[in-house]
Amino acid sequence: EVQLVESGGGLIQPGGSLRLSCAASGFSISSNYMNWVRQAPGKGPQWVSVLYSNGETYYADSVKGRFTISRDNSKNTMYLQLNSLRVDDTAVYYCARGYRAVAEAYWYFDLWGRGTLVTVSS
């Protein structure tokens, strides 16, 4: 079955760190545009980061310098290291596979995990 399963969320104090995991099955994460998308309570989704098949990484301005995306191909798992966490980082974090058509520069999200909740609070 093709699926994504996130883990690693929890309650953390401001300034703390957390590592999220996204385990994929049924396809190879190393061949796809793999993203993290977050959704704060009652808000629309917000794109956070992407890891290209060639290893390039990109981040939203709001997390640049604090979050790091990576993967372990042998485990078919993607990670998001969250450092210097702030209250406004509180959200459900989803991993999502991006699909980019040949003629297009960017992508939509054709597969999502169920998400993991990160709550930043003192």
Partner 1 sequence: EIVMTQSLATLSVSPGERATLSCRASQTVRSNLAWYQQKPGQAPRLFIYGASTRATGIPARFSGSGSGTEFTLTISSLQSEDFAVYYCQQYNNWPLTFGGGTKVEIK
Does residue number 65 form part of the binding site for partner 1 (CB under 8 A)? no
Does residue number 9 form part of the binding site for partner 1 (CB under 8 A)? no
Instruction: Name the 3-class secondary structure at 83.
Output: coil
The CB-of-6 to partner 1 minimum distance in angstroms stands at 9
The CB-of-13 to partner 1 minimum distance in angstroms stands at 26
Does residue number 110 form part of the binding site for partner 1 (CB under 8 A)? yes
Residues 77-96, interacting with partner 1 (CB under 8 A): 94
**Comparing C-alpha atoms, which of 87, 85, 63, 94 is closest to residue 17?**
85
Does residue number 47 form part of the binding site for partner 1 (CB under 8 A)? yes
H or E element: which one contains 74?
Answer: none
Q: Alpha carbon 74 to chain centroid distance?
A: 18
DSSP secondary structure letters along 16-59: --EEEEEEEESS-GGGSEEEEEEE-TTS--EEEEEE-TTS-EEE
Q: Which stretch binds partner 1 (CB under 8 A): 8-16, 17-25, 44-52, 78-86?
A: 44-52
Nearest CB to partner 1, comparing residues 16 and 21: 21
The CB-of-41 to partner 1 minimum distance in angstroms stands at 12
State whether the Cα torsion 13-16-112-109 is positive or negative.
positive
In the complex, the residues that contact partner 1 under the rule CB under 8 A are 43-47, 60-61, 94, 99, 101, 104-115
